[in-house]
Amino acid sequence: MNSTPRFAEDISLRIQELAGNLKIRDVMTRKVFAVTRTCTMRDVQAIMKSNAISGVPVVDDRHVIGLVSVNTIMNAYEQGWMQDPVAKHMTTGVRTLGEEQPLSFAMSAFSKFPYRRFPVVNQNNELTGMVTPRNINLALIQELSRQLDAIETESGRITPAATSENCIFSRIYRVARYDFETGGTAAAELREQLQARGVAPKIIRRAAVACYELEINIIAHSYGGTLTLYIDRELVRITANDFGPGIPDVDQAMTEGFSTASDWIRSQGFGAGMGLPNTKRLSDEFAIQSGVDMGTMVKSVINLNPQEKLSDENK
């Protein structure tokens, strides 16, 4: 597609902006499983297996002297080196990142070098953490959510109860373009969560449908994105973020019956132009922001408190 380079540039700019305030220490994994040079390859393999990790740094007095990856272990297994000390087979000359460095340094490092993880060190060059692309992705999503919350708090739209201390369930789902096969996964989990907490069926239906509509919107109309569920004792908040193409005219998109869906999407049973209007109708609070070539963010809040349940009966 001709728009791809422009799209990639815009995404890159947006990510750099998001990462601007973050340092590597803000995103790194602090619980690090490190070994000393005398441990065997078998010891490292056991650590990897029991902790579901794919790389273990080797340290000498907290200073990183090497790294053992899954590939190193596989090679050792094939060659019969599993009882050898790690110092014999570890990768040496390991690149490390400083914990005080900006997150953008880590992002550049992953672009520049073919590594899937970097040990992180402090000013004394001592190991303090590990960083992977997953750490970065999660941090960016959280930062995006935090910035959105800050914008809404400033505009007085967010409910005070929606703070992390009150959270009883929170999850981020990756939603892929045209992946109708798994569409509805978040909605199904939201439904289960609310049922388990004894929420009234009518409220559950409203929340599940709103969630499903937003999930399908990402699948059918965007290049992909994320859907975040947040539940506390008073409300459900569903936040959909996608990576574009964005909506040129949000008012038009909010009009019942307006749709840009292709024939193929319509053949799947969607594209009646009811998704966003229906989500707004079901929501106690609703917000949408969109930028062409940038993406769309939609937030839907459904109150769970008894008063809302009563008023809901009259809807």
Partner 1 sequence: MKKLKPLIEELNAKAVNAPPGWEDRDVKKIFASDLISDILIIDSDNILLLTSLLSDQVLYAADVIGASAVILVNRNHIPAMLGKAAAKKGIPLFHTPLPKFESCVRLGHLMELV
Selected range binding partner 1 among 19-27, 64-72, 155-163, 210-218, rule: CB under 8 A: 210-218
- Please report, as residue ranges, which positions from 15 to 74 form the binding site for partner 1 (by CB under 8 A): none
Interface pick for partner 1 out of 61, 154, 165, 181 (rule CB under 8 A): 181
State which residue, 194 or 247, has the beta carbon closest to partner 1. Answer: 194
- Under rule CB under 8 A, residue 278 binds partner 1: yes
Q: DSSP states of 23-43 as a string?
A: BHHHHSB-----EETTSBHHH
Q: Among 238, 205, 236, 198, which Cα is nearest to 313's?
A: 205
In the list 211, 229, 238, 240, the residue contacting partner 1 (rule: CB under 8 A) is 211
Contacts of 111 (CB under 8 A, 6+ apart): none
23, 42, 205, 309: which one contacts partner 1 (CB under 8 A)? Answer: 205
- Residue 236 contacts partner 1 per CB under 8 A: no
Asked if 119 interacts with partner 1 (CB under 8 A), we say no
295-303 and 285-291 beta bridge pairing: antiparallel
Exactly one of 272, 305, 310, 311 binds partner 1 (CB under 8 A); that residue is: 272
CB atoms within 10 A of CB 84: 14
Helix (H) or strand (E) holding 204: helix 201-221
CA–CA separation, 224 and 219 (whole Å)? 6
252-270 as b/e, with b when 16 or more CB fall inside 10 Å?
A: ebbeeeebebeeebeeeeb
Contacting partner 1 (CB under 8 A), which of 114, 156, 160, 269? 269
DSSP 86: G
CA 46 to chain centroid:
29
CB of 225 to partner 1, least distance (A): 18
Question: How near is the Cβ of 41 to partner 1 at its closest, in Å?
Answer: 42
Minimum CB–partner distance for residue 258 and partner 1 (Å): 12
C-alpha to C-alpha distance for 258 and 271, rounded to whole angstroms: 9
Number of residues that bind partner 1 (CB under 8 A): 27
3-state secondary structure of 170: strand
If you ran DSSP here, which 8-state letter would residue 270 be given?
A: -
User: Which of 260, 268 has the CB closer to partner 1?
Assistant: 268
Q: Between 139 and 204, whose beta carbon lies closer to partner 1?
A: 204
Structure tokens at 33: 């499983």
Name the one range near partner 1 by CB under 8 A: 52-60, 98-106, 187-195, 283-291: 187-195
**Listed ranges 99-107, 114-122, 183-191, 223-231: which one lies at the site for partner 1 (CB under 8 A):** 183-191
277 and 254 Cβ atoms separated by less than 8 Å:
yes
Nearer to partner 1, 203 or 294 (CB): 203
What residue ranges bind partner 1 (CB under 8 A)? Answer: 180-181, 183-184, 187-188, 191, 201-202, 204-205, 208-209, 211-213, 216, 268-275, 278, 315
